[in-house]
Amino acid sequence: MTLDRITPPRTRVGLVSGGLGAYWPQFPDLLPQLRSSARRVAARLSEMDCEVVDAGFVSDAVEGAAAAEKLRVAGCDLIVGFLTTYLTSSMLAPVAQRSGAPVLLLNLQPTEAMDHETFDTGAWLAYCGACPLPELANAFRRLGVEFRSVSGYLEDARAWTRIERWIKAAGVRAALRHGRHGLLGHLYPGMMDVSTDPTLVSGQLGGHVEILEIDDLRVRVEQVTDAETQDRVELAREVFTVDESVVDEDFAWGARVSVALDRLVEDFSLDSLAYYHRGLDGETHERVGAGFILGASLLTARGIPAVGEYELRTSLAMLVMDRLGAGGSFTELQALNFRDNVVEMGHDGPAHLGISARKPLLRGLGVYHGKRGWGVSVEFDVKHGPVTLCGLGQRRDGTFTLIASEGTVVPGPLLRIGNTTSRVDFGCGPGDWTDAWSASGIAHHWALGTGHRAGELAAVADLLGLELTVVNP
């Protein structure tokens, strides 16, 4: 029995390479060299877990227009224009205008530098991809086309790191533009910061918010068989260390709800889920609402972020981090440790099991603090090392912003109360960091992921048209 991650659609990258056709009869050896470089770029892009739609090599504006039509039909998530030598802006303008996808221009010369003693004009022109870059930049700005560029050489590791960052960001943009985000139940009473207008999500990020009711899950819970429940219990025993505090009845209930959650996600084709339901006096709806944590954590580990407290924006931030390969666990502030100079943060709800420092623990709770119901909860520490916080803020005018901060998870004592808890060192006093983080416009939940991702998040923010605030006091 395995916990299989979903397989999201591969990022579709459109590639067009080009140079000025007037050169070919003048310098017969030039075009074969440039085509070889274009094949190398296509091969390197294909290694980055993306689907490359290669529109070929263009030599004039007519061929550029034909390439533009091919890439428009392909429905690409990112358009890459490889400037092999000088070309006119009219050759790539239609490519940039028609696709509707973000544009990345590559200026990658063959090696680090020319051999000035032996090079003639034809050899120099193979290194002349930088020449048209300002021309294209000027033309694109005048045409109202957003673009970004990477300059380097064909085997330049730094340049390819930057290119991969843009491809990852394009994948995140596609996940949001095409995503279906479940919003189940109702707002946690009084939490003004987490309230989000679903129309703003579609308007600014794309995608669709599916409004769900607790009965959409309750009915599916009632349809789960005992055999299916037992299979889920066995899976949970493989994934978790089950603490002796776990009551068998609560374990089985959480497993039953987990199976129903999988069906809910499948039936509504959800890519993320935010939920909350209060209920009363142990009735069925309260029990369903309290039974989420096991199943929601398993969903999150599979690449379908599921969060409590109706936190739609945080489920989207978790989706961003997951698609960057960072995990992304539901997180809030817990306490400041001025003795050890760390900020302690985590949550009593769903967690991303893929970033746990060790096999996560399933603990039984007689009460969920601040919420009705009881049952099982997940407890772990995020892997020690570099981490990034990512949240989706919202301004007074409704505009979303990305907010991030990089730190390091360090070892030390943790609470054993069924929470995900991590000790994060931000390289400054915990009070100073907390004040700066709170002043950024973040809500009181965010995603905590592994690795330092501010550079990747900067690319994501650029492609989404969002402002990025990096908190680093």
Give the pLDDT confidence of 304-353 residue by residue, as tens digits.
999 999 999 999 999 999 999 999 999 999 999 999 999 999 997 788 99
| Residue 55 belongs to a domain | yes
Residue 207's pLDDT is 96
Q: Which two tokens stand for residue 18?
A: 């080009």
What integer is the mean pLDDT of 434-449?
Answer: 97
Strands of 262-324, DSSP E = 272-276, 306-307
- Looking at the fold, whether 183 and 147 belong to one and the same domain comes out as no
Residue 232's pLDDT is 97
Whether 372 shows a pLDDT value over 80: the answer reads no
- Looking at the fold, whether 333 and 456 belong to one and the same domain comes out as yes
| Residue 6 belongs to a domain | no
| Residue 4 belongs to a domain | no
What CATH number should be reported for the domain holding residue 465? 3.20.14
- Looking at the fold, whether 147 and 189 belong to one and the same domain comes out as no
Residue 389's pLDDT is 98
| Residue 101 belongs to a domain | yes
- Looking at the fold, whether 338 and 407 belong to one and the same domain comes out as yes
pLDDT category at 108 given cuts 50, 70, 90 is: very high
pLDDT category at 2 given cuts 50, 70, 90 is: low
- Looking at the fold, whether 255 and 268 belong to one and the same domain comes out as yes
User: Which H/E stretch holds residue 38?
Assistant: helix 30-46
Percent of the chain with pLDDT over 70: 98
CA angle 194, 322, 16 (to 5 degrees): 115
Whether 1 shows a pLDDT value over 60: the answer reads no
Whether 449 shows a pLDDT value over 70: the answer reads yes
In angstroms, the CA 57 to CA 87 distance is: 12
- Looking at the fold, whether 159 and 223 belong to one and the same domain comes out as no
Residue 375's pLDDT is 80
- Looking at the fold, whether 80 and 111 belong to one and the same domain comes out as yes
**Average pLDDT across the chain, whole number:** 95
In angstroms, the CA 240 to CA 206 distance is: 36
Residue 371's pLDDT is 62
| Residue 37 belongs to a domain | yes
Range of the domain at 171: 11-176
- Looking at the fold, whether 89 and 31 belong to one and the same domain comes out as yes
Of residues 328, 331, 23, 318, the one with CA closest to residue 179: 318
- Looking at the fold, whether 162 and 186 belong to one and the same domain comes out as no
What CATH number should be reported for the domain holding residue 60? 3.40.50.10940
Kindly write down the DSSP assignment for every residue of 167-178, as one continuous string. HHHHHHHHHHHH
In angstroms, the CA 72 to CA 264 distance is: 35
Of residues 59, 48, 103, the one with CA closest to residue 81: 103
| Residue 2 belongs to a domain | no
What integer is the mean pLDDT of 32-55?
Answer: 97
Q: Which of 159, 176, 193 is the last residue of a domain?
A: 176
Q: Which of 2-6, 201-205, 266-270, 289-293 has the lowest mean pLDDT?
A: 2-6
- Number of domain units in the chain: 2
The model carries a pTM of: 0.95
Q: Which two tokens stand for residue 309?
A: 């407290």
What integer is the mean pLDDT of 247-266?
Answer: 96
- Looking at the fold, whether 144 and 199 belong to one and the same domain comes out as no
Whether 94 shows a pLDDT value over 60: the answer reads yes
204-214 per-position pLDDT tens digit: 999 999 999 99
Q: Which of 151, 176, 201 is the last residue of a domain?
A: 176
Q: Which of 142, 176, 210 is the last residue of a domain?
A: 176
- Looking at the fold, whether 374 and 325 belong to one and the same domain comes out as yes
Q: Which of 179-193, 246-260, 372-386, 450-464 has the lowest mean pLDDT?
A: 372-386
- Looking at the fold, whether 157 and 217 belong to one and the same domain comes out as no
In angstroms, the CA 349 to CA 331 distance is: 9
What integer is the mean pLDDT of 252-271?
Answer: 97
| Residue 3 belongs to a domain | no
